């Protein structure tokens, strides 16, 4: 039995130490990965680091408890073996019952009680109460001399009386008189000179039942019983510790299984010691076929020279690579390699963390394509748009319509491809001015653009001023483009209309194809202002003018051509408008 226990202790201790080392290494890797992920706007799964730290603390406590318990069991076993009767089981309840039945048989007692000290409170508690018929006594049948029990527990000295009623030490005690107690024997359970409990037996019928011989026999037996009971307790604690260790090992296995990153560890010779499911999925490997084999035999992308360099240098490396994986084709991987250290900080192997970036890279390529057609604000806030569903939200916005150049004024007889390239140069000038002022492009309509300010995607308190500044920047940029193309700068072709008011913003369309836009009279009014603008004019509404009043007070190179009231389509009341033009620089 000693060899078996020693084997268990060595095996479990080594396993616990290995798990602790592995957690230390993983924690370092995850901290590095967290920094990398944070730079990319991502994060580790919630609770990953805290769960590892908790697991390490509990494993260390379990290891310490296990080693202490194992040492105590070995030390107690060497003190002497119990009698075959009480040493036949380590189940605590069985041991206690066997102890008490043996006490009654050895002492010819009528009843016997075993009381153990509660480790927390220090009080003696009835643990076993049996009679001569091996029947467990009920609580209302407990009859003892508490004076004798208390004294033995305090002093650690056994007491025996052949006739308690005639014994001058106890003849005045009420329990002895009331219950007619006669022969009584009580001995301490001593463990390392500490009273852990008492064994009490009595006989109400006969006097002189217990003599020195019974006292010596019971004391020797009690000493063995104390060890046997403690062994049983330690066994229960050891079994509980082993259950905790198993639970911790299962928890750690679950942590590995739940980690999105692939994790592989090797020993000093480069043999695979751990490979989690994520690594198997990413690299199309089977764990059973990898464990114990050199890493370069199961995955030849990392040669033995690289593993040896990591071990010798003791530093970590991380690199993004594109490599071929059997059965999966070309993958974009982020590979991090770090030395695996033991509890003494000695390097025992290498930890490899593999993240599959293939899908992420694909999405990035898609987004780069999308950015050519949508504004940066719409791309970066695509989730905000999606959250609106097919509903809308009413809010005050500023809408800007710009006609970059009427088709009738484009150079004549341009081939279609050249015509589109020519138009796109004008559209680009307008779009850049809108986005530079934090506006978003709602739509392109041939030679016209609708820009929106203060939507859910680009909220701002000064949206009217931003729209007006965007119009001024367009005017300057168009004049620069005219000069570049050899056009007459004095004859501008653009027209701009700006209005501020309440509109409904949200997604329109179907479940499979939808568009984020703004609808409402205020948006239509902005287009009516565009239709009333002359070449090179910026026409704004009263609401926009009031919002930009302070800005206009100190605006150079700006001329107010006219202020007037006009009637526009679908409005009964006239609109008060302001016509501005940009002066030459």
Residues 545 and 459 in one domain: yes
Asked if residue 509 and residue 413 are part of one domain, the reply reads yes
Predicted confidence band of residue 248 (pLDDT cuts 50, 70, 90):
confident
Question: How far is residue 173's CA from residue 441's CA, in Å, rounded to a whole number?
Answer: 101
d(CA 195, CA 188) in angstroms, rounded, equals 6
Q: Are residues 571 and 516 in the same domain?
A: yes
Which one is predicted more confidently, 66 or 561?
Answer: 561
What would the two tokens of residue 268 be?
Answer: 């000093």
User: Between the ranges 98-107, 449-458, 500-509, where is the mean pLDDT highest?
Assistant: 449-458
CA distances from 474 to 63, 220, 407, 471, 551 (A): 73, 106, 19, 5, 17
246 belongs to a structural domain: no
d(CA 217, CA 201): 13
Within a domain: 308: yes
State what percent of residues in the chain have pLDDT above 70.
80
Asked if the model's pLDDT at residue 10 lies above 70, the reply is: no
pLDDT for res 572:
82
Q: pLDDT grade, residue 3 (50/70/90)? A: very low
What is the CA angle 361-364-369, rounded to 5? 130
| Range 513-519 contact pairs with CB under 8 angstroms and sequence separation of 24 or more | 514/390, 515/443, 516/378, 516/385, 516/388, 516/442, 516/457, 517/442, 517/443, 518/397, 518/399, 518/442, 518/452, 518/455, 519/392
Domain assignment present for residue 470? The answer is yes
Answer with the one of 326, 350, 368 that is the final residue of a domain: 368
The answer to the question of residue 8 being in a domain is no
Q: How confident is the model at residue 585 (pLDDT cuts 50, 70, 90)?
A: low
Residue 126 has pLDDT above 50, yes or no: yes
Does 426 score more than 70 pLDDT? yes
What is the domain count for the chain? 3
In terms of pLDDT, which residue wins out, 374 or 451?
A: 451
What pLDDT score does 74 carry?
Answer: 44
Residue 72 has pLDDT above 50, yes or no: no
Q: How far apart are the first and last CA of the chain?
A: 101
Return mean pLDDT, the chain: 79
Question: Does residue 79 register a pLDDT over 50?
Answer: no
In terms of average pLDDT, the best of 220-234, 306-320, 407-421 is 306-320
Cα–Cα distance for residue pair 439/433, rounded to 1 Å: 9
Average pLDDT rounded to a whole number, residues 322-347? 87
Residue ending a domain, choose from 353, 368, 383 = 368
Of 10-19, 194-203, 435-444, which has the strongest mean pLDDT?
Answer: 435-444
* C-alpha–C-alpha distance, residues 109 and 290, integer Å: 67
Flag whether pLDDT at 306 surpasses 80. yes
| pLDDT computed for residue 227 by the predictor | 77
Residue 73, pLDDT above cutoff 80? no
The pLDDT-based confidence of 115 (bands split at 50, 70, 90) is confident
The tokens for 283 are 């690299």
Do residue 450 and residue 508 come from a single domain?
yes
pLDDT at site 256: 64
* pLDDT single digits (tens) 537-566: 999 999 999 999 999 888 888 989 999 999
Pairing status of strand 329-341 against strand 347-356? antiparallel
| Sequence-distant (≥ 6) Cβ neighbours of residue 115 within 8 angstroms | 124, 125, 126, 127, 149, 197, 198, 200
Does residue 376 share a domain with residue 361? no
pLDDT category of residue 108 using cuts at 50, 70 and 90 = confident
Domain-embedded: residue 21? no
Contact of 467 with 497, CB cutoff 8 Å = no
* CATH code (residue 84): 3.30.450.40
On the question of pLDDT at 298 being above 50, the answer is yes
Please give the pLDDT value at position 100. Answer: 75
Q: Are 358 and 429 members of one domain?
A: no
In-domain check, residue 56 = no
Summarised one tens digit per residue, pLDDT across range 210-224 is 777 677 777 777 777
Residues 226 and 348 in one domain: no
Does 25 reside within a domain? no
DSSP one-letter string for 290-304: HTTSBHHHH-TTS-H
Residue 77 has pLDDT above 50, yes or no: no
Tokens standing for residue 531: 């239709």
**Band of pLDDT at residue 75, cut at 50, 70 and 90:** very low
Per-residue pLDDT at 111: 82
Output the six-digit token pair for 532. Answer: 């009333």
Examine the pLDDT at 143 and tell me if it is beyond 50.
Answer: yes
Share above pLDDT 90 across residues of the chain, in percent, rounded to a whole number: 19
Task: Compute the distance between CA of residue 400 and CA of residue 520 in angstroms, rounded to an integer.
Answer: 14
Average pLDDT over residues 23-28: 79
Domain range spanning residue 549? Answer: 371-582
- Calculate mean pLDDT across residues 408-414: 68
Instruction: Summarize the confidence of residues 400-405 as an average pLDDT.
Output: 94
211 and 155 housed in the same domain: yes
Quote the CA–CA distance of 275 and 541 in Å, as a whole number: 67
Q: Which pLDDT belongs to residue 133?
A: 73
pLDDT higher than 50, residue 337: yes
Last residue of a domain, one of 237, 269, 284: 237
In the structure, what pLDDT confidence band is assigned to residue 412 with cuts at 50, 70 and 90? low
Question: Residues 231-252: what's their mean pLDDT?
Answer: 75
Mean pLDDT of the 254-281 span: 84
- Residue 248, in any domain of the structure: no
Q: Higher-confidence residue: 91 or 320? A: 320
Taking Cα atoms as reference points, which of 154, 173, 152 lies closest to residue 164? Answer: 173
What tens digit of pLDDT does each residue of 171-198 get? 555 555 455 567 888 889 888 888 888 8
Query: What pLDDT is stored for residue 232 in this prediction?
Result: 75
Assess whether 387 and 304 both reside in one domain: no
The residue that leads in pLDDT, 396 or 48, is: 396
pLDDT of residue 484: 87
Phi, psi of 214 (to 5 degrees): -65, -35
Instruction: Identify the pLDDT of residue 223.
Output: 77
pLDDT of residue 452: 94
Q: Which residue has the higher pLDDT, 284 or 52?
A: 284
CATH number for position 290: 3.30.450.20
Rg from Cα positions in the chain: 45
Specify the 3-state DSSP secondary structure of 284: coil
CATH assignment at residue 556 = 3.30.70.1230
Task: Based on the fold, state whether residues 361 and 387 are members of the same structural domain.
Answer: no
Whether 403 and 336 map to the same domain: the answer is no
Residues 344, 198, single domain; the answer is no
């Amino acid at each position: 039995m000693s060899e078996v226990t020693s084997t268990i202790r060595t095996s479990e201790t080594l396993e616990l130490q290995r798990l602790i080392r592995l957690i230390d290494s993983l924690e370092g890797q995850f901290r590095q990965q967290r920094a990398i992920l944070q730079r990319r706007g991502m994060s580790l799964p919630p609770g990953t680091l805290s769960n590892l730290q908790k697991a390490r603390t509990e494993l260390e406590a379990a290891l310490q408890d296990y080693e202490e318990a194992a040492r105590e069991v070995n030390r107690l076993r060497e003190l002497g073996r119990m009698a075959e009767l009480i040493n036949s089981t380590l189940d605590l309840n069985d041991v206690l019952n066997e102890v008490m039945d043996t006490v009654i048989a050895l002492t010819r007692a009528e009843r016997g009680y075993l009381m153990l000290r509660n480790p927390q409170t220090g009080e003696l508690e009835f643990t076993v109460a049996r009679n001569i018929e091996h029947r467990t006594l009920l609580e209302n049948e407990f009859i003892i001399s508490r004076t004798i029990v208390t004294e033995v527990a305090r002093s650690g000295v056994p007491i025996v009386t052949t006739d308690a009623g005639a014994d001058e030490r106890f003849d005045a005690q009420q329990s002895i008189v009331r219950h007619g107690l006669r022969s009584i024997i009580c001995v301490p359970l001593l463990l390392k000179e500490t009273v852990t409990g008492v064994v009490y037996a009595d006989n109400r019928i006969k006097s002189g039942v217990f003599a020195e011989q019974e006292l010596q026999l019971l004391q020797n037996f009690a000493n063995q019983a104390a060890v046997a009971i403690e062994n049983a307790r330690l066994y229960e604690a050891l079994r509980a510790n082993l259950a905790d260790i198993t639970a911790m090992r299962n928890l750690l296995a679950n942590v590995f299984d739940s980690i999105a990153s692939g994790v592989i560890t090797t020993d000093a010779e480069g043999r695979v010691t751990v490979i989690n499911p994520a690594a198997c999925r990413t690299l199309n490997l089977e764990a059973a076929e990898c464990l114990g084999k050199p890493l370069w035999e199961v995955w030849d992308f990392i040669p033995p020279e690289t593993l040896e360099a990591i071990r010798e240098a003791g530093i970590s490396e991380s690199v993004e690579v594109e490599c071929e994986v059997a059965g999966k084709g070309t993958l974009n991987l982020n590979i991090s390699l770090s030395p695996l250290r033991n509890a003494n900080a000695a390097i025992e192997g290498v930890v490899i963390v593999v993240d599959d970036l293939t899908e992420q890279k694909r999405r990035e390529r898609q987004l780069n394509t999308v950015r050519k057609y949508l504004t940066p604000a719409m791309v970066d806030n695509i989730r905000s748009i999606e959250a609106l569903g097919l509903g809308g939200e009413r809010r005050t916005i500023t809408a800007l319509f710009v006609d970059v150049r009427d088709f009738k004024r484009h150079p004549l007889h341009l081939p279609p491809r050249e015509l589109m390239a020519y138009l796109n140069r004008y559209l680009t000038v307008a779009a850049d001015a809108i986005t530079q002022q934090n506006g978003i492009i709602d739509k392109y309509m041939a030679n016209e653009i609708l820009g929106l300010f203060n939507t859910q995607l680009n909220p701002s308190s000064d949206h009217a001023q931003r729209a007006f500044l965007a119009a001024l920047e367009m005017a300057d940029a168009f004049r620069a483009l005219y000069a570049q193309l050899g056009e007459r700068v004095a004859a501008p072709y653009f027209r701009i209309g700006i209005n501020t008011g309440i509109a409904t913003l949200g997604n329109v369309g179907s479940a499979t194809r939808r568009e984020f836009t703004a609808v409402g009279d205020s948006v239509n009014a902005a287009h009516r202002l565009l239709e009333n603008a002359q070449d090179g004019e910026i026409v704004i509404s009263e609401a926009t003018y009031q919002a930009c009043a302070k800005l206009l007070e100190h605006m150079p190179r700006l001329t107010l051509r006219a202020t007037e009231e006009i009637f526009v389509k679908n409005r009964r009341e006239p609109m008060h408008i302001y016509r501005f033009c940009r002066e030459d620089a």
